[in-house]
C-alpha cells in the first residue's frame, strides 16, 4: 500500500487517482453515482436514429453508435458510470424500435385480414 499526495495505491507506487488498485477487487456491491441518466431517449423531442442509420454506422465502424470501440476500451479502459449510462440509452432505444415494430406488425396484420376478407 502506498499513500502519496492524497492518492492511495494498492499494488502500485504511482497511484493516478484517489484510489489506484493494480489487481482484482472483490466486493459485494459497487455504487456508482451518476450525473444524469438516459431517460431523455423517451422525450418526444429526442431524435431516434433510423435503424438504417444504425446499420450503416455499424457496417462502417464495427460497433454501436455512441459506444466506445474495442480499441478505445483496450487503450483507455472504460468508465463504469459512462458505459452503464450508454448501455441504458441503447436499451431504451431498442425498446422504442420494438414498439415501432409492434405497431407495424399490427398494421400489417390488419392489412392481411382485410385482403383475406376481400378475397372471400
Number of domains in the chain: 2
Pair 75, 65: CB distance under 8 Å: no
Whether 41 and 10 map to the same domain: the answer is no
**Do 60 and 96 lie in a common domain?**
yes
Cα distance between residue 46 and residue 49, in whole Å: 9
Query: Is the full-model pTM beyond 0.85?
Result: no
23 lies in which domain range?
1-30
Q: Are residues 26 and 54 in the same domain?
A: no
Same domain, 16 and 40: no
What CA–CA distance (Å, rounded) separates 15 from 21?
8
Question: Are residues 15 and 41 located together in one domain of the fold?
Answer: no
Residue 119 has a pLDDT of 82
First CA to last CA across the chain, in angstroms? 82
**Residue 48 DSSP code:** P
pLDDT in tens, 17-32: 999 999 999 999 999 9
Do 6 and 38 share a domain, yes or no? no
Is residue 39 within 8 Å of residue 92, measured between CB atoms? yes
Amino acid at each position: 500500500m502506498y499513500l502519496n499526495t492524497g492518492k492511495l495505491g494498492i499494488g502500485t507506487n504511482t497511484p493516478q487517482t484517489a484510489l489506484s488498485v493494480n489487481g482484482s477487487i472483490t466486493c459485494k456491491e459497487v455504487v456508482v453515482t451518476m450525473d444524469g441518466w438516459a431517460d431523455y431517449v423517451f422525450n418526444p423531442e429526442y431524435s431516434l436514429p433510423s435503424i438504417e442509420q444504425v446499420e450503416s454506422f455499424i457496417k462502417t465502424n464495427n460497433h454501436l453508435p455512441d459506444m466506445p470501440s474495442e480499441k478505445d476500451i483496450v487503450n483507455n479502459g472504460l468508465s463504469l458510470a459512462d458505459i452503464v449510462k450508454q448501455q441504458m440509452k441503447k436499451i431504451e432505444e431498442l425498446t422504442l424500435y420494438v414498439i415501432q415494430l409492434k405497431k407495424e406488425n399490427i398494421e400489417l396484420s390488419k392489412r392481411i385480414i382485410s385482403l383475406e376478407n376481400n378475397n372471400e
